[in-house]
Amino acid sequence: MNGGAVRLVAVNGGLSEPSSTRMLIDRLTVAVTDALGEGERVVDVQVIDLRDLAVDLGRAMTVGFAPGQARAALDAVESADALIVASPVFNASYSGLFKMFFDLVDVDAMSGKPVLIAATGGSPRHSMVLDHALRPLFSYLRTVIVPTGVYAASEDWAGAESAGDGGLSGRIDRAASEFAELIRLRGSSREDSSRQPLRDDALHNGSPSAADVRQQTIEAAGIANFARLLGPS
Ligand SMILES: Cc1cc2nc3c(=O)[nH]c(=O)nc-3n(C[C@H](O)[C@H](O)[C@H](O)COP(=O)(O)O)c2cc1C
């Protein structure tokens, strides 16, 4: 975090114009900014539309390095404090362009980064793309994934969403508040680790170090992910 501001980068894999995936990203960034604002954090938001980088990303796969705007987008993602990522469902998975982009990121730069996953599709029956495709990809990248992912089908945009927590707005708010909590935890564990004398004290008096706190945060998010996948007992 840069001087207290949270650098939030959102990656939109949508290809259409207008893009329903971009609409979902915009709803999520507003909800996350509001949720973080409750703790009076300043949020610096950047949205990357992958459709604008399609040619550069294709070239990067064959020449081995990302040119121009694609490199700038990868730098923004790698240096972000937290990410919102959203892809349209293409043939029951994320789009090829979305995968191509994340194939080019530096895996080590992604480690421990809080990530909120989201997807859009024509059919509500493909909502499991979040848990079958996006969640494994971002686990591989060693990110910390918010337990609630957000899927929006065409009918969610047609005003047919049910009221309450199960509707799109409820899912967005729940994911945003979990994400904000994760960002706060990571921010405070980083602040702790920058205070070296405190950390040394902690070693002597048996208190957990910043590294322990960070590891516990990652493990807690992992346990929450598993609990969610197992469903209600
Ligand atoms: C090539 C292609 C494959 C698609 N496959 C699926 C699919 O398997 N399941 C689904 O629910 N929607 C599918 N769709 C619909 C898109 O996921 C949906 O329209 C999406 O919201 C488009 O996002 P955008 O408006 O941001 O581009 C497909 C669309 C295209 C173009």
pLDDT tens string, the chain, 233 residues long: the values are 655 789 999 999 999 999 999 999 999 999 999 999 877 678 899 999 999 999 999 999 999 889 989 999 999 999 999 999 999 999 999 999 999 999 999 999 999 999 999 999 999 999 999 999 999 999 999 999 999 999 999 999 876 555 555 799 999 999 999 999 999 988 877 776 766 554 444 444 555 555 565 556 556 665 565 555 555 54
* Residue 222: partners with Cβ closer than 8 Å, 6 or more residues away: 144
State both tokens at 16: 């259409």
44 assigned to some structural domain: yes
197 assigned to some structural domain: no
203 assigned to some structural domain: no
State both tokens at 126: 């493909």
149 assigned to some structural domain: yes
Burial-class residue 179 by CB neighbours within 10 Å (0-12, 13-18, 19+).
Answer: buried
pLDDT at 200: 45
CA 38 to each of CA 28, 118, 124: distance values in angstroms, whole numbers, following the listed order: 16, 23, 32
Nearest CA to ligand 1 atom 5: 90
Q: How far apart are CA 99 and CA 87, in angstroms?
A: 9
Number of the ligand 1 atom closest to the C-alpha atom of 152? 21
Q: DSSP string covering 166-180, please?
A: TSHHHHHHHHHHHHH
122 assigned to some structural domain: yes
User: To which residue do tokens 């949508």 refer?
Assistant: 14
Contact 70, 104 (CB under 8 A): yes
Is 91 a pocket residue for ligand 1 (Cβ < 6 Å)?
Answer: yes
167 assigned to some structural domain: yes
191 assigned to some structural domain: no
How many structural domains compose the chain? 1
Supply the CATH number for residue 143's domain.
Answer: 3.40.50.360
pLDDT at 207: 57
Q: How far apart are CA 2 and CA 77, in angstroms?
A: 15
Determine how many CB atoms are found less than 10 A away from the CB of residue 159.
6
The whole domain housing 144 covers 6-185
131 assigned to some structural domain: yes
Is 196 a pocket residue for ligand 1 (Cβ < 6 Å)?
Answer: no
